[in-house]
Amino acid sequence: MTHTLSPPIPRERFDMPPEVLWLSHCKDGPLPRISADVVRDLLETELRPWDLRWSEDFLDVQRGLREAGAALLGARAEDMSLVTCTSTGLEAVALGYPWQHGDEVVIPLGEFPSNRLPWLALARRGVTCTEVPLWDGQAATPVRAPHAGIDAEQRLLDAIGPRTRIVAVSWVRYQDGIRLDLAKLACGCRERGVHLVVDGIQGAGTVAASLDGVSAFATGGHKGLLGLQGQGLLWTDSAFRQQLTPLGTWLSAPDDFSQSGTQKPNLETWAQDGRRLEAGSPSILSCAALAASIRLLLDCGGAATIHAHIARLQRLLLSALEADARWAAEAARWKGLIDADKAGSTLCFALPSRMSERLVQMAEAQGIRTSTREGYLRVAFHGWHDAGDVERCAAWLLSPDGA
């Protein structure tokens, strides 16, 4: 396997030893050096609070993250809210929406708890959460892996009833790796008068998002966006946002909080922009780190460029695997999913449990870091990986000892 694939993100942007092959940004993304440098600079300021500049070192850091997140998503900065993680973003929607007793929210079967528990918690308000299988055999034991012929979006649209108010989905699913067509879902939901709410963490930073027709998009920053744990983003459509109960506190007034001791009088209690949904003070260190990481992604071509690079790496790996009888079926399944535009940045292989366990053990011994979820072995490429990484990955997966 001799190929040259120049990565859009230079590997030297990370503190990543050559012996480490990190294939698990779907679990935790590495923090770029530039983001760590920004945090160190801000920590120096925290040592001397008398030197802190209210606008430059506090308010502008928050604005910078909203602007960077909006640029990556192709959105407006005023529609961005700073949240702790995906869960808190989805909770802002779930708890803030004006539900009526008997209303319904529809979610796919097998969602990560971030996009399941906030909706189940609404039962005490009389709201039903309906979980929909996305393909035949998903609810079977053992689970049948998804293939290119599934129509997960239509299954969700068909499940919408007269009391459905929200359809909430993971854009890219954490365990089996399939990517839902947000444009198709958004169009179908809009035609039915239903809001589409998206958990975007497994795709943000590695796949270009389309928010047209979407009502809300929440993501944590510590996976494909390469930020720190504990900082995320929530985008909301402006009309939808006005329906939600504001969560904001002292930083969510229409005008920036003044250090003069006197606040401007205003007829409005809360801002109309994304700050309306921001609960309390964000971590400025985490905001600065995530903003720097997102700017790095943008400087390297953005999510569309990174996604195209990842797809080439995925095809290269699958071509290496397909000649091996142990891997032929899975390689063909994933090639079909990529051709059908149903793949994200993570290849999730459905393997016999013993084979999967053995491969994970071998990977750790070889400095390869991967992960498993719900019976799937996950291999996640990003913008810094190259053809040499694919060769190393293929050698690991094809090892006779992995059978």
Domain ranges of the chain: 51-299, 302-402
Contacts of 188 (CB under 8 A, 6+ apart): 153, 154, 157, 160
What is this structure's pTM?
0.95
CB-neighbour burial class of residue 239 (10 A; exposed 0-12, middle 13-18, buried 19+): exposed
Euclidean distance between CA atoms 95 and 126, whole angstroms: 13
Per-residue model confidence as pLDDT tens for the chain (403 residues): 445 589 999 999 999 999 999 999 999 999 999 999 999 999 888 888 888 887 888 889 999 999 999 999 999 999 999 999 999 999 999 999 999 999 999 999 999 999 999 999 999 999 999 999 999 999 888 879 999 999 999 999 999 999 999 999 999 999 999 999 999 999 999 999 999 999 999 999 999 999 999 999 999 999 999 999 999 999 999 999 999 999 877 777 776 665 555 656 666 778 899 999 998 888 999 999 999 999 999 999 999 999 999 999 999 999 999 999 999 999 999 999 999 999 999 999 999 989 999 999 999 999 999 999 998 999 999 999 999 999 999 999 999 876 6
Query: Three-state SS for 3?
Result: coil
- CATH topology assigned to domain 51-299: Aspartate Aminotransferase; domain 2 (3.40.640)
Q: What is the pLDDT of residue 403?
A: 65
| pLDDT of amino acid 2 | 47
pLDDT at 262: 61
Strand order in the sheet with 104-108: 80-83, 232-236, 216-220, 195-199, 164-170, 104-108, 128-132
**CATH number attached to the domain at 302-402:** 3.90.1150
pLDDT number for residue 253: 74
Q: Is 18 exposed, middle or buried (0-12, 13-18, 19+ CB in 10 A)?
A: exposed
CA dist., res. 353 & res. 376, Å (int) = 9
